[in-house]
Amino acid sequence: MTIDRSDAAAALSDIDDIARRVRQSRIYQFSSMMLMLWGPLTAVGNVVSWSWPRQAGYVWVAVNLFGVAASFAASAFGKRRTGIHGFDTRVLLAFGLFFGFGLLWSVGLVHFTPRQLGAFWPIYFMLAYTIAGLWLGHAFVAIGLGITALTLLGYFFAGDWFELWMAVVNGGGLLLGGLWMRRN
């Protein structure tokens, strides 16, 4: 049996399409795990910040340190299970640069109010999600734009309930996004 040039091209195209879908599925699977980790952490951070506003800075440092450590632990566990390494030194450096740039602007140069900080950080993170989604898939774009829009809505209209609004919108949005990505 011989195949002609057009049949071979079609077969290679099918293989390329399957490889692309498997790659996106793996990315979504790992991202789902991360979103389902960070969603509840973010919700807890917002609730505790609302309950004890004077301790909010310490709460968020603890939440972020725990979240980064848990992310790397989950990546190492996932590598043993699937053979795919989610994080490496470059990702750690990217986290450092990302946090450093955010801290430079939010604390060093601008001195945001607590409410402004409560809106800045989620929007800043969702910008990264949205940009990543241009390459990694539409779910990232939808999650990023959705949480950004709801954050702005809460910033302008939630009043004293903004932190609790963000617990639901940001924490809940990340968790729901993780569940959605798991299905895709």
Mean pLDDT, residues 127-139 = 91
User: What is the residue type of 138?
Assistant: H
Average pLDDT, stretch 131-141? Answer: 90
Exposure string for 19-40, b = 16+ CB within 10 A, e = fewer: eeeeeeeebbbbbbbbbbbbbb
Domain count, the chain: 1
What residues contact 152, with CB distance under 8 A and at least 6 apart? 119, 123
Q: What is the pLDDT of residues 159-184, one digit of tens each?
A: 999 999 999 999 999 999 999 888 76
Least Cα distance to 163 among 55, 62, 67, 64 occurs for 55
Report the pLDDT value the prediction gives residue 82, as an integer from 0 to 100. 61
Place of tokens 């640069």: 97
Amino acid at site 112: F
Alpha carbon 107 to chain centroid, angstroms: 22
CA distance 46 to 138: 27
Q: Give the per-residue pLDDT at 100.
A: 92
Do residues 42 and 170 touch, judged by C-beta distance below 8 A? yes
DSSP summary character for residue 83: S
pTM above 0.95, yes or no: no
Q: At what angle do helices 89-103 and 114-136 cross, to 10 degrees?
A: 140
pLDDT range class, residue 111, cuts 50, 70, 90: confident
Encoded tokens for 29: 């699977």
Task: Name the amino acid, one letter, at 10.
Answer: A
DSSP letter for each residue of 106-172: IIIIS---HHHHHHHHHHHHHHHHHHHHHHH-HHHHHHHHHHHHHHHHHHHH-GGGHHHHHIIIIIH
Radius of gyration of the chain from its Cα atoms, rounded to whole angstroms: 20
Q: How confident is the model at residue 154 (pLDDT cuts 50, 70, 90)?
A: very high
Instruction: Show the domain range for 36.
Output: 5-183
Which pLDDT belongs to residue 137? 85
Better pLDDT: 148 or 181: 148
Please report the beta strands in 12-119, taking only residues with DSSP state E, as ranges in sequence order.
none
Model pLDDT, residue 84: 61
pLDDT number for residue 76: 80
* pLDDT digit string, tens, across residues 21-63: 777 777 788 888 899 999 999 999 999 999 999 999 899 999 9
